[in-house]
Structure 1
Amino acid sequence: METNPVRSLTDEQVLRALMQHRRLTRAELAAEIGISKPTAGESVRRLTERGLVADTGERTPGGRGMGRVGQYYALADPGSALVVGIAPTGVTAELIDAYGDTLARAARSITRPAQPAAVVRALHLVAASFGTPPAVTPSPGTASPGPSVRRPRLAVISAADPVDRESGRLVQLPDAPFLVGSLDPVAVLASSVDGPIVVDNDVNWAARAESASADFAYLFLGEGLGCAIVSDGSVQRGRFGLAGEIAHILTTGVDGRATPFIEVFGRLGLRRPDSSAIDVPRLLAARADDRSMIGKAVAGVVAAIVALTDPAEIVLGGAWGPALLLEIVAAVAGTPRPVPLRATEVAEPSLTAARQDALDRLRALIADAR
């Protein structure tokens, strides 16, 4: 059957308006979208027949000079999406709906050093903690009995490791401090999610959370080291998804010689035992001379980023990056092409961006079902 493009667009606008406002009458939909009341009414009728919109049973005040009684309509099923953060300390998961509400949140810690088997168990546990009751189809003309009547329609995952662009598997690179071997979160969660599963590196997600210029670099300085390059408003992931892996960029070492960035922290005794992970508490308590040395090492990385990508600014994130902002700014001032630096102000940036992406994708799925 041929689809009328005007009707299809109107139906999408109605669905998106209901996602924003939760419930609206036909008259309110007409005013919100800028269409006639009859057109809004026809769209509501079509969407109700398809089981996408339902009468909530609520009514506006009316009668006795107050005008006609209006019926409130809402999404028949706001669906849900799974948002997962895989970090060195554990796995965090949220279940959100198309309104942007967090329906549930769960977390599982991971014993250090993180191993794939432990992460797999944590992923299974957080997914199972939300439950996956059988699908319930609302009766025609009635609202959905609850916000989570079926499995999540999609999942978005933020992982503190390099991520293969094509498969979504985590990649073990030299000196990567967390997962030994590779992990396939798509395969782990496939049985818990009805639709697509999107995986990306946590630093790339953190960059997406920033309200920065269209061309900037997000430098993550925490237990691990990473960078996201944003060009023309898009994160540049590289051929295999490994762009921004800065651990082995040559920079100024403790003895003034060229040294891989990650080795600077080993020379200063700032790594965790038997790990390439940086000991953040020890770094933050380091002497002024060592902090200055770290600032110079970071400045060498910044100089390389500036030479290759020409960013408008550098945003510092991670557990210790913002804390050493003064030392880093002072060192960057002496590089050939100084660039503005600032500390991120976004809390939980990786999870924040992954959550927004999951919301956008969930809403698009619902709108495309019209």
Structure 2
Amino acid sequence: MPLPQAVLREATDRRLLEEVVTRGRVTRAELAAATGLSKPTVSEAVRRLTESGLLEATGAQETGRRGRVGTFYELGPSAGWVLAVEVGKSGVRAWSADLAGAVLREHERPAGVRGDVEAVAAALRSVASDAVDQAGEGVLRAVAVSMANPVDPETHDVIAVPASPFPEGLLSPAEILVGTVTAPVLVDNDVNLAALAEQRAGGATGVSSFAYVYVGAGLGVGLYIGDRLVRGAHGLAGEIGYLPGAGRGTLATELAAGIGGAGARSNDVATALRMLDDGDTETIGRAVARAITSITAVVDPELVLLGGPVGCHPALLEPVRAALPPSPTRLEYGRLGTLASLHGATYSALEHARTAAVRVMSD
């Protein structure tokens, strides 16, 4: 049964929009050549995209043939923008980006005292309000929020887990931003978003099965198996901190105690970084290696990437490699560093924004 014309138009428009985003500035003839679509189909789609404001004609290109001139098209001023936000123990940081993903402005607010939920909410509102004010008349098409806590994949609610290193992050970004933004608010776990970013434009590009191991105030893993992000039925896949440690506690509590002393509830990032600076790598290296050993035994990924403020430390990779049993799985650093989750939030927002913009145009 053939697909409805509206569905075909939407798919065509989205494909051409993505091509313009990738190439920056392009003619209809170049779009036809790149996509394999007929010239009449491309011309009609470009007309729709231009009339909607997603594209604009920006100049002529001499084709080299007498009487023939091509018109360049690029993203239009009405295409809009997205907001990517990261909410964590260090505070709230964000950036706004155009629909091509180019960062326009950066925003940041410091963290409040531990456990102060309202301070986190106020920082989130403030960052979003600043971004909207500075954008002027541009259309905000999506907001993606990275949370340093698990997120239910169905309800998008932040999930409370025992001994969370970020208890003040148990809030609802969508509810907090009511009245501040009108765009859809997308919420996801920071480690999942970091894995998404590494898969799109980082160390896992072209790798279908990999694990992104985050080491910071907590431990977590983002899993891509067969080119699909594994979230679990309740959004709790990858909570490796709850694996058994070498003693009676969990891997997370054992590592926290090794870094901050007995009774530490989460990893003291500053102390962990000082330990690694001083060459004291055994405690952290062995804990991370135990986590990776469990991951590789269960899912056998092609690649494991280390990330997070502690996981990215240049002294950590080799001690972890040395502590791992022989395995065909490669171990490397993530390429996007401590900004990986913010990059991931940007990709999430862009994907939603581009799809929604074309769908609205097709309605």
Which TM class, normalised by the smaller chain length? 0.7 to 0.9
User: Taking structure 1 as the reference length, what is the TM-score of the superposition?
Assistant: 0.79
**Structure 2 equivalent of residue 246 of structure 1:** 240
Cα deviation for residue 9 of structure 1 reads 5.1
Q: CA distance change for structure 1 residues 46 and 350 in 2, over 3 Å: closer, same or farther?
A: closer
Out of 262, 265, 274, the position equivalent to 1:276 is: 265
Q: How does 1:1-370 map to 2 (within 5 A)?
A: 3=5, 10-34=12-36, 39-49=41-51, 52-56=54-58, 58-60=59-61, 67-68=67-68, 70-76=70-76, 77-113=78-114, 115-131=116-132, 149-180=137-168, 182-210=170-198, 211-212=203-204, 213-252=207-246, 257-268=247-258, 270=260, 276-286=265-275, 291-322=281-312, 323-333=315-325, 339-347=329-337, 348-368=339-359, 369-370=361-362
User: Taking structure 2 as the reference length, what is the TM-score of the superposition?
Assistant: 0.80
Give the Cα separation in 2 of the matches to 1:190 and 1:216. Answer: 36
Number of equivalenced pairs: 347
Q: What secondary structure, in the 3-state scheme, does the structure 2 residue paired with 1:251 have?
A: coil
Question: Runs of 5+ in structure 1 lacking a partner?
Answer: 134-146
Cα deviation for residue 38 of structure 1 reads 5.0
Q: What secondary structure, in the 3-state scheme, does the structure 2 residue paired with 1:156 have?
A: strand
- Point out the more displaced range, 296-305 or 285-294: 285-294
Cα deviation for residue 258 of structure 1 reads 4.2
Alignment root-mean-square deviation, CA? 3.4
- Point out the more displaced range, 239-248 or 40-49: 40-49
Give the Cα separation in 1 of the matches to 2:48 and 2:330. Answer: 53
Query: Contact (CA 8 Å) 1:154, 1:193: kept in 2 or not?
Result: no
Q: What secondary structure, in the 3-state scheme, does the structure 1 residue paired with 2:96 have?
A: strand
Give CA-to-partner distance per residue, 1:167-222, whole Å, 9 cap, x none. Answer: 32322322211223721112112433334322111111122223433222222112
Cα deviation for residue 314 of structure 1 reads 2.5
Q: CA distance change for structure 1 residues 219 and 40 in 2, over 3 Å: closer, same or farther?
A: closer
Percent of aligned pairs sharing the same letter: 35
Q: CA distance change for structure 1 residues 340 and 258 in 2, over 3 Å: closer, same or farther?
A: farther
Give the Cα separation in 1 of the matches to 2:209 and 2:14. Answer: 33
Cα deviation for residue 13 of structure 1 reads 4.3
Query: Contact (CA 8 Å) 2:111, 2:120: kept in 1 or not?
Result: yes
Cα deviation for residue 97 of structure 1 reads 1.6
Give the Cα separation in 2 of the matches to 1:9 and 1:267. Answer: 53
Give the Cα separation in 2 of the matches to 1:225 and 1:159. Answer: 14
Q: What secondary structure, in the 3-state scheme, does the structure 2 residue paired with 1:123 have?
A: helix
Q: What secondary structure, in the 3-state scheme, does the structure 2 residue paired with 1:154 have?
A: strand
Q: CA distance change for structure 1 residues 295 and 132 in 2, over 3 Å: closer, same or farther?
A: closer
Q: What secondary structure, in the 3-state scheme, does the structure 1 residue paired with 2:317 have?
A: helix
Q: Which has the higher helix share?
A: 2
Larger Rg: 1
Cα deviation for residue 237 of structure 1 reads 1.1
Question: Runs of 5+ in structure 2 lacking a partner?
Answer: none
